[in-house]
Amino acid sequence: MEFGEKLLELRNGKGMTQEELAEDLFVSRTAISKWESGRGYPSIDSLKEISKYFSVSIDELLSSEKLVTIAEKENRANIHRVLDYLLGLVDLMVCGLIFLPLFPHTADGLVFAVSMLEYCDVSASIKVIYWVLFLTLVAIGMVIVILNRFNLERPKRVMIALSMGISVITVLVLAITRAAYATSVAFILTTIKGMLFYRREKA
């Protein structure tokens, strides 16, 4: 007997509706419906709750093979979650390009490093491009963290891909405008992000 059939049998044995069981297990009725119809399986934590609720062992609910599959899937999801938080945090670190002294400023024949807030050795249009790129990356980082919090996988993947593209453009723009220190920092952040993204895809 499959897990969904066992759950349905246990629920009917207690004379409960899907809504009542969902309420007792602190899950949605849709989740119960999905499990009973065989369209999905509960998490390990939910399995423990079901096992405790109906006073049956987890082994009675699921085969060990299926249990291992669920555990592996959860492990991958947890790795993705951690890596996605890190990807979002790397984007938030772009704030350093705004506030750290990374841009060259020439005064009295000497070159000083200043923050972007004080940087005036480029045209206004270039500075606007800097602001747009930096603030866009910071905003994307915040969105990734929020989407990760609510487990919204599809929009999160779109934002991560967008973040990678804008990061590469940022490095190129900084290199073209000869902001050497800022280019180095942006390149390091982009490299870190690339490694995290690669690790995420391999997990």
Specify burial of residue 34 (Cβ count, 10 A radius: 0-12, 13-18, 19+). Answer: middle
| Together in a domain, 42 and 101 | no
Q: Is residue 68 part of a domain?
A: no
97 and 165 fall within a common domain = yes
pLDDT digits (tens, 9 = 90+) for 28-61: 999 999 999 999 999 999 999 999 999 999 989 9
Query: Quick one: which H or E segment has residue 105?
Result: strand 103-107
Is there a domain that residue 69 lies in? no
The mean pLDDT value of the chain amounts to: 94
| Whether residues 87 and 157 fall in one domain | yes
CB-based contacts of 96, cutoff 8 Å, min separation 6: 102, 185
Q: Any idea what DSSP says for residue 77?
A: H
The answer to whether 172 and 105 are in contact (CB under 8 A) is no
Cβ pair 47, 70 in contact under 8 A:
yes
Per-residue pLDDT at 97 exceeds 90: yes
Which residues form the domain of 36?
A: 3-62
Q: Is 124 strand, coil or helix? A: helix
Residue 64 has pLDDT above 90, yes or no: no
> Residue 203: its pLDDT value, please?
79
53 and 84 inside one domain: no
Task: State the total domains in the chain.
Answer: 2
